[in-house]
Amino acid sequence: MFEFFIFILLPLLASIFCYFVKNLRIQYSASLAVSIFHLALALSVFLGYYHTNLPFFFSVDSLSKLFLLILSNVYFWVVLVSYSYLQRPVTFKARNGIQYYFLLLNFYLTANSAAMLSDHFGMYWVAAEATTLSVAPLIYFYRNEEALEAMWKYLFLVSVGIAFAFIGILFLTLSAKGSLLEGKQLFFWEFIRNAKGLNPIWLKASFIFIFVGLSTKIGIAPMHSGDIDATSNAPSPIAALMSGSLRLTSLMGVLRILQIIRPTSSYEFAKIILIIGGLLSLFVAFVFMFKVNNYKRMLAYSSVEHLGLITLGVGVGGLAFIGAMYHAIYNSITKLVLFLTAGNIHSRFKSREVSSVSSVLTFMPVTGWLFLLTFFAISGIPPFGIFFSEIKIFEGLLFSDKPILVFAVMFFLLFIFINMGKIIFAMLYKKGENDKPETGTEKFEFIHLAVILLLILLTAIAVTSPDIIYQNIINITKDFGMNL
Amino acid sequence: MENVLSIFFCLSLFYVAITSRVRGFVTVLRVQGILLSVIIVIPFIYHFSIFGIILPATLLAVKVFLIPRYINKIILDLDIKRTIEPTIQQFTFLLLVITTMVVIFVVSNILAQSTDLNVIPFASGFSAIVIGIYIIMFRKKLIVHVAGFLILENGIFLFGTAVASELPMMIELGILLDVFVVVFLMGIAINNISTTLRGFDVTALGRLKD
C-alpha cells in the first residue's frame, strides 16, 4: 500500500494542496518533495530494493519498472527547473496560468503513474485519458492564439484517438468469446497467459484500433499533427515532459497489446503494422525537416523521428527491441535537455522562428554550447547514449529477416541530421541584421546546471551501461517471449 | 428490449443527419443519454441492488443533465448562430448516413455468424461511432464537433453493452468522469477561441502549419 500512496495518492494530494495554497514557492517545494519521493521509490523498485504489492488493477513488471523510472526521472528534472522557468517574464494573461502550473503537473504525475502501473485495460484507458486532461491546460500556458489552437487540436485529436483505443479494447473482449477468457476481466496478464485461444480476426482489429488510437498520443505518423502543434507551443519544461515521458505512457498501451498478440498467429501482422508506422514516422520527419522554419517544431519532428525508431525496433523484435528500450531511456533524457536549452533561446529571442534567431553563441555562449552538444547527442554522436541504442537497433535490423530496412533508416537519419544541423548551425553562428555589438555576458542559471548534470547522466549511463538496466531489458524481452 | 432501444438510438442518428439547428444536437444527446441509461438499468429490474443503480444514475446525470446543459450554456453565452453551417448538404449527408448504416448492419450480420454477438446494439453502436466522425468531418462549428465527439462516445458505450464487456464500476465511473472533464475543457477552449480568435468554427484555426 505504501507504494500506491507514493506513486499515485501523494501526487494527487499534492495537486489538491496546490489548489488551496497559492504561494508559488510553497507549491514548488511540495511538488519537488513529491517528485523526490517518487523518484527514490521508483529507483528502489527498479533496483530490486523494494518489492511492491499494489492493490486492485495495479501491478509491477519489468516493463512498467523501466518506464516508471523514466517517467519519474524526467518529471523530477522538469519540476526542479520549473521554479526558475516560471520566474521569467510572461504576458499579463499568461501570469494567470502560473497558479495552476504545479497543480496540473502533480495531476500529470498521478495519471501517468496510474497508467504505467495499471494491469487492467480499462484502468489504463481511464488513466491515459486523464494524462491528456492534465497536459492540455498546460499547453495553453502562454494564453496566446497559437497555444489556444494547439491545445484545442491536441485535446480533440487525442480524445478521438483514445476513443478509438477504447473500441480496440472492446474488440479484445470480442476476441475472447468462446475462449477461456470469456466473461473475465480485462487484465493484461490473464490475456497474455491465455492469448493462444483468442479469435485472430478480432485480435487483429483490436491491435489496429489500439495502435492507431494511441498513435495520436505517441506522435506516430500519420496521426502526429496534434502532437507536433502541442509540443511546439507548450512551455519548454512541458514539451520536455511530453516528449520524454507522455509518449512512452501511450507506447506502453501498444506494447501491452503486442505482448498479448506475440504468441498468436497474428504477430506477423502486428509486426508489419509497427514497422510501417515506424518507417512512416521517419519519412515524415525526413520530409518536414526540409521545410520546417520553427525550431520548436523541428524538435517536435525529432520526437516523431525517435518514437518512430523505437516503434520500428519494437516491431522488428530481437536485438532491435533491446535497442528500442535503450533508445526510450536515452531519448527521454536527451529530449529533456534539448527542450530546456531551446526554452532558454526562446526566452532571449522571444520567437520560435529560425530566421529571428541569430548568433546564439555570441549572445548566449553557455546555452549555445549546450545546445550544440545536445544536438550532437540527439544525432547519435558518441559518447552520448543515442549512438549506442541506434547501433543496437541497426544491428537488430541488419540481422532480422528484413535487412533492407537498415538502409532506408540510415538514409532518413542522414538527411534528418543534415537538415537539423543546417538549422541549428544557422541559429548558433549566423550573424543577424539587427545584432547589437554587445557580446556574451549570459548569466549562469540554474537551468544550465541542470542541463550539464543531465548530459553527464546521459553519458555516464551510456558509457558504463549498468548491468541492472541490461538485466531489466532482458527480462522485458523474456516477458515478450522473444528468443535472442 | 435492448434491441428496441437500439433502434430508437439509430433513429436519433437519422435526426442528427437532417437537423440544421445546433440545439437539435443537444436534444439528440439528451435522448441518447436516456436510452443508454435505460439499457443498462434493465438487468437491475430483475435483480435490484442499490449498488448497481449507481452507474445508471451517474450516466443519467452526466449525459442527460450536466453535459447538455453545459453545451446549451455555451451556445447562449457566446451567442453562437443557431444553424450548423454544414460543408455538405443535409440530403447528401442523410444518404451517406443511410448507406453507412446499411453497410454496417450487413457486415455485422455476417460477423455474427462466426462470433456470438448481439447484432442490433452492436451495429447501432458502430454506426454512431462512424456518424460521430462524419459530423466532425462535415460540419464547421466547433460546438457541433463536440456534439459529434459525444455521439461517438455514446456509440462506444452502446457497442460496449453489445459485446457484453462488463467493466468494474469504478472504471466505468472513471470513464464517465474523463468524458465529462474533456467536454468541460473543450467548452473552456471554445469560449477562449471565440474571444481570442473571434470565431466559432474550424476556419478560425489555421495558424499552425509548416
All 3 cell numbers of residue A469? 538496466
Cα separation, A65 vs A72, in Å, equals: 10
CA distance B167 to chain A (A): 7
Average pLDDT over residues A294-314: 95
Q: What is the pLDDT of residues A414-435, one digit of tens each?
A: 999 999 999 999 999 988 776 6
In the structure, how many helices (H) and strands (E) does chain B have? 8, 0
Work out the percent of chain B whose per-residue pLDDT is above 90: 41
Residue B80 has pLDDT above 90, yes or no: no
All 3 cell numbers of residue A196? 493462444
Average pLDDT over residues A281-289: 96
Q: Which residue has the higher pLDDT, A32 or A178?
A: A32
Q: What is the pLDDT of residues A432-448, one digit of tens each?
A: 776 665 555 788 889 99
The amino acid at residue A339 is: F
Q: How far is CA B1 from CA A174, B39, B41, B59, in A?
A: 22, 8, 11, 19
**Residue A408, number of CB atoms within 10 A of its CB:** 16
Chain B residues within an 8 Å CB radius of A129: 175, 178, 182
Q: What is the pLDDT of residues A42-89, one digit of tens each?
A: 999 999 999 888 888 899 999 999 999 999 999 999 999 999 999 888
CA distance A22 to chain B (A): 22
Contact A120 B171 (CB under 8 A): yes
Contact A122 B171 (CB under 8 A): yes
Chain A residues within an 8 Å CB radius of B164: 173, 183
Least confident of A247-256, A461-470, B184-193, B201-210: B201-210
pLDDT at A435 (0 to 100): 65
All 3 cell numbers of residue A187? 487484465
- Please tell me which of the candidates A149, A202, A292 has its beta carbon nearest to residue B208: A149
Q: What is the pLDDT of residues A324-353, one digit of tens each?
A: 999 999 999 999 999 999 999 998 888 899
Picking from A148, A158, A287, A290 by the largest number of B CB atoms within 10 A of its own CB, the best residue to mutate is A148
8 Å CB contact between A27 and A102: yes
Least confident of A132-136, A243-247, A264-268, B46-50: B46-50
pLDDT at B118 (0 to 100): 85
| Cα dihedral: B207, A165, A64, A75 (round 10) | 20
8 Å CB contact between A321 and A312: no
- Residue B20 pLDDT level (bands cut at 50, 70, 90): confident
All 3 cell numbers of residue A378? 540527439
Contact B178 A123 (CB under 8 A): no
CA distance B75 to chain A (A): 18
pLDDT at B78 (0 to 100): 85
Contact B208 A150 (CB under 8 A): yes
- In terms of CA atoms, which chain B residue is nearest residue A187? B167
Contact A155 B189 (CB under 8 A): yes
- In terms of CA atoms, which chain A residue is nearest residue B163? A174
Chain A residues within an 8 Å CB radius of B165: 169-170, 173, 186
- Please tell me which of the candidates A123, A155, A293 has its beta carbon nearest to residue B182: A155
pLDDT at A460 (0 to 100): 95
Picking from B110, B185, B186, B209 by the largest number of A CB atoms within 10 A of its own CB, the best residue to mutate is B185
- Residue B208 pLDDT level (bands cut at 50, 70, 90): confident
Q: What is the pLDDT of residues B161-178, one digit of tens each?
A: 888 667 778 888 888 888
**Residue A441, number of CB atoms within 10 A of its CB:** 8
Contact A148 B165 (CB under 8 A): no
Cα separation, A62 vs A69, in Å, equals: 11
CA distance B171 to chain A (A): 6
Q: What is the pLDDT of residues A108-162, one digit of tens each?
A: 999 999 999 999 999 999 999 999 999 999 999 988 889 999 999 999 999 999 9
Cα separation, A484 vs A474, in Å, equals: 9
- In terms of CA atoms, which chain A residue is nearest residue B146? A156
Cis check: omega of the bond before A383, within 30 degrees of 0 = yes
- Please tell me which of the candidates B149, B178, B208 has its beta carbon nearest to residue A146: B208
Picking from A12, A146, A156 by the largest number of B CB atoms within 10 A of its own CB, the best residue to mutate is A156
Domain spans of chain A, in order of start:
276-484
- Tell me which residue of A346, A328, A340, A335 sits closest to A302, measured CA to CA: A335
- The 3-state secondary structure of chain A reads CHHHHHHHHHHHHHHHHHHHCCCHHHHHHHHHHHHHHHHHHHHHHHHCCCCCCCCCCECCCHHHHHHHHHHHHHHHHHHHHHHHHHCCCCCHHHHHHHHHHHHHHHHHHHHHHHHHHECEHHHHHHHHHHHHHHHHHHHCCCCCHHHHHHHHHHHHHHHHHHHHHHHHHHHHHHHCCCCCCCCCCCEHHHHHHCHHHCCHHHHHHHHHHHHHHHHHHHCCCCCCHHHHHHHHHCCHHHHHHHHHHHHHHHHHHHHHHHHHHCCCCCHHHHHHHHHHHHHHHHHHHHHHHHHCCEHHHHHHHHHHHHHHHHHHHHHHCCHHHHHHHHHHHHHHHHHHHHHHHHHHHHHHHCCCEHHHCCCHHHHCHHHHHHHHHHHHHHCCCCCCHHHHHHHHHHHHHHCCCCCHHHHHHHHHHHHHHHHHHHHHHHHHHCCCCCCCCCCCCCCCCHHHHHHHHHHHHHHHHHHHCCHHHHHHHHHHHHHCCCCC
Residue A297, burial from CB neighbour count under 10 angstroms (0-12, 13-18, 19+)? buried
Contact B182 A125 (CB under 8 A): no
8 Å CB contact between A454 and A337: yes
**CB–CB contacts below 8 A, A to B:** 111
Average pLDDT over residues A35-47: 96
pLDDT at B33 (0 to 100): 93
Average pLDDT over residues B30-45: 88
Cα separation, A304 vs A287, in Å, equals: 12
Q: What Rg, from alpha-carbon coordinates, does chain A have?
A: 22
Cα separation, A288 vs A300, in Å, equals: 11
- Residue A482 pLDDT level (bands cut at 50, 70, 90): confident
Contact A292 B156 (CB under 8 A): no
Contact B185 A178 (CB under 8 A): no
- Please tell me which of the candidates A126, A156, A233 has its beta carbon nearest to residue B175: A126
Query: Considering chain A, what is the average pLDDT of its residues?
Result: 92
